[in-house]
Structure 1
């Protein structure tokens, strides 16, 4: 049962790990081969049993079977916190969303004002942790060892961020917009362990698509996914999707906080990939992960390798794909370990920031072990790489996924 839940995948390990018999790698911390993290489940309010990666702060991964649906059920939506003082009740009669700093009219919006004074807008968008699939990295890196389930997809409904900013009146010389929620830590004020916040560039075109969401799949947000409102930054990593959003501040100086200057930084290189040797030189140029679109990815949902397939018995291979750069143009599938590729059929499009379902009919012709590969191309022509990437944060993994299946005789 556990195998069916987690599944296994073949990871393109570096050449030195492929020594016959595996002796050369016997003392190395190898990448995790499970589709999901191989950890126990945890049960918390408003959630189904999810894979518990941490309980302080709470971090929960979505199990693979839930990705058979393009919209992730709210109760199965993954959870990621950085600090451990998390609200478990919010008085909506007292709560306010404040917009201040370098604005003409500092404003404080009640929940009822957000519902009644602004046009409701919806977008279907993937929320993915920057470190999703971190367990794949080699050499291994510190941080939450996510499998592939540090992501989910929902239809978000709320108020356009720009509607609030326009009402407050952004003033000239604003260089950053800082967002902060109600979750906090136990450290001293002014330290990274006291508060979590992120900033966006006021000239970033993505602001036109950002929402302050009060609904998730047609329901109020679960507390652990940001109730009462959450910042939605479609196409960007979850690091800037601030939960329990309560403060928006227009800054006239660059945001020098730890969470912008030190944490969640991507190498300014193709595929955000570098080497330990380059990092050791101390000259690596980086960019904030919140300023970069999520790279194109695709995944197998079925088959998951939990049971044998049968020779000459047709099946339908199913999966999902997404990108932060213009949606999905095509998905290719290989049934011979990447030697040849076929185009999969794409399911109806829920929008450029959503999961895109795909499928391919396949009939196994002979028994044995088969490596299935899937490779997506996004709307801007970006294609998933075949070779592993590496960076010290364990961020932005998007290597071609490979699913191992076993085919048995029919008689």
Structure 2
């Protein structure tokens, strides 16, 4: 980027197209084709080579070994867009964030306004796509709609910006206001396609934890991660962390939208899953708070290790903001479990890195498994305990890797 104010970013040959989201769920089907898609690894602008699930629009997955770090570098942070029409040019002299609707004083704010007129705040938080790890549902024999992500549609960063609460207070929220809707600059290919509109209750918007971020890990937001502004909702799936945030609308009434009421939804029951039967016309609710989860960063699958080596097994764990209490590890396929050593606590919404020193004594094949427990007693389930939903959302089963000792 030769000029931060003029980002002619995607115009140089990157073609963007539409993606499809299926709103109606169908019965789980047995997977019969075991051939797995292997994504190409390509370097996009501002990014190191990442797995390219799609370039229409950009879907870039981080490598597993990035989970050996508590903070994900910007150039290896995953990318997830929904709409094909992404601006290729943003001039910060002209860009404005509008605050409108049920407010006393509508606002039109530049990025400089956000930096100069509001107290800057920072929060370290995990950003995770609702469909992260979706492809692992297939290992249970059940099909899911959507992008077949591995574990790499997540990352953790230090976000800096202005509190959404402070912005709304400057605008003066009317007493009748009940919801806040947010929208960004990405647009659908055709008018009939719904906009990527997200909304929340007014109390959540005024909670003080949500921020409009303009920095990520001490730098301006990378273009592919939402430059120049992105909404940050700590503890929630990234689907509501609207990128290239351009509109904040305060509303007296709820406005139904495809992405809130159809696409990013799960069954509205205790397990948030399809229980049984062939009737899939059930009450839905949007996905929101993340579930407790841990992932192994090293060793990666099929690593070959010399007998007698001292192996530093490490990874990350997180939840919706209750905090990680412990992470347990098994090196014998789940027959026995041991405690790992939790590393620095970077905040309740951040990754908690864990480490386990392992000295394999015998040659052979090993299955390393890991599961996290948070401070309110939520435990990562085994794969056969995961409830199915057609969207493949919220997968958080015990992670495992196969390694060979020689």
Q: TM-score, normalised by structure 2?
A: 0.88
Equivalent residue, structure 1, for 2:262: 262
Per the TM alignment, residue 346 of structure 1 is displaced from its structure 2 partner at its CA by: 0.3
Q: How far has the Cα of 1:53 moved from its partner?
A: 0.7
Alignment gaps of 5+ in structure 1 = 1-24
Per-residue deviation, residues 23-71 of structure 1 (Å, max 9, x unmatched): xx8x714596xxxx73102332111111111111111111122222221
Q: Which residue of 2 aligns with 1:12?
A: none
* Alpha-carbon contact 1:373-1:403 (below 8 Å) kept: yes
* Deviation of the 1:285 alpha carbon: 2.7
Is the Cα–Cα contact under 8 Å of residues 212 and 232 in structure 1 kept in the other structure?
yes
Unaligned runs of 5+ in 2: 1-29
1:148 pairs with 146, 151, 161, which one? 151
Counterpart of 2:359 in structure 1 is 363
Select 1:397's aligned residue among 389, 395, 398: 395
**1:131 and 1:31, CA in 2 relative to 1: closer, same or farther beyond 3 A?**
farther
* CA deviation string 1:204-251 (max 9, x = no partner): 388421110000000001111111110000110010000010100011
* Most deviating of 68-77 and 395-404: 68-77
Between the aligned partners of 2:290 and 2:168, the Cα distance in structure 1 is 25
The match for 1:341 among 325, 337, 340 is: 337
For residue 66 of structure 1, what is the aligned residue in structure 2?
66
Partner of 1:173: 176
Q: Match for 2:291 among 295, 313, 327? A: 295
How far, CA to CA, are the matches of 1:402 and 1:244 in structure 2?
36
Q: Secondary structure of 1:66's partner?
A: helix
Aligned to 2:283: 285
Change in Cα spacing, 1:295 to 1:31, as seen in structure 2 (3 Å) is farther
Moved more, 265-274 or 317-326: 265-274
Q: How does 1:191-230 map to 2 (within 5 A)?
A: 191=192, 193-204=193-204, 207-230=207-230
Query: C-alpha separation between the residues in 2 aligned to 1:147 and 1:307?
Result: 18
In the alignment, the residues of structure 2 paired with residue 30 and residue 103 of structure 1 have an alpha-carbon distance, to the nearest angstrom, of: 54
Aligned pair 1:379/2:375, yes or no?
Answer: yes
Structure 1 length-normalised TM:
0.86
Task: Give the Cα separation in 1 of the matches to 2:357 and 2:387.
Answer: 30
How do 1:66-105 residues align onto structure 2 when only pairs under 5 Å count?
66-105=66-105
Deviation at 1:154, TM superposition (A): 0.6
1:158 aligns with 2:198: no
Q: Deviations over 1:317-341 (max 9, x none)?
A: 1111111131211100011111211
Deviation, structure 1 residue 293: 1.0
Q: Write out per-residue CA displacement over residues 264-313 of structure 1, whole angstroms, 9 at most, x where no aligned residue.
A: 002233453324x44x3134332111xx3100110111111343223332
Per-residue displacement from partner, 1:157-199 (whole Å, max 9, x unpaired)? 00011000111111123222100011111211xx4x2521111
Following the alignment from structure 2 to structure 1, what is the Cα–Cα distance between the partners of residues 91 and 352? 37
Structure 2 partner of 1:273: 273
> Is the contact made by 1:137 and 1:389 (CA closer than 8 Å) also made in structure 2?
no
Q: CA deviation at 1:258?
A: 1.1
Partner of 2:366, secondary structure, is: strand
Q: Which runs of 4+ in 1 moved over 6 A?
A: none
Contact preservation (8 Å) 2:165, 2:206: no
1:94 is displaced (CA, Å) by 1.2
Provide the secondary structure at the position in 1 that maps to 2:104. coil
In structure 2, what is the Cα distance between the partners aligned to 1:284 and 1:31? 33
The two structures, once aligned, show a CA RMSD in angstroms of 1.8
CA–CA distance in 2 between the matches of 1:204 and 1:343? 36
Give me the whole-angstrom Cα distance separating, in 1, the residues matched to 2:206 and 2:130: 17
Which residue does the alignment assign to 1:126? 126
1:307 aligns with 2:311: no
Q: Is the 8 A contact 1:377 1:384 kept in 2?
A: yes
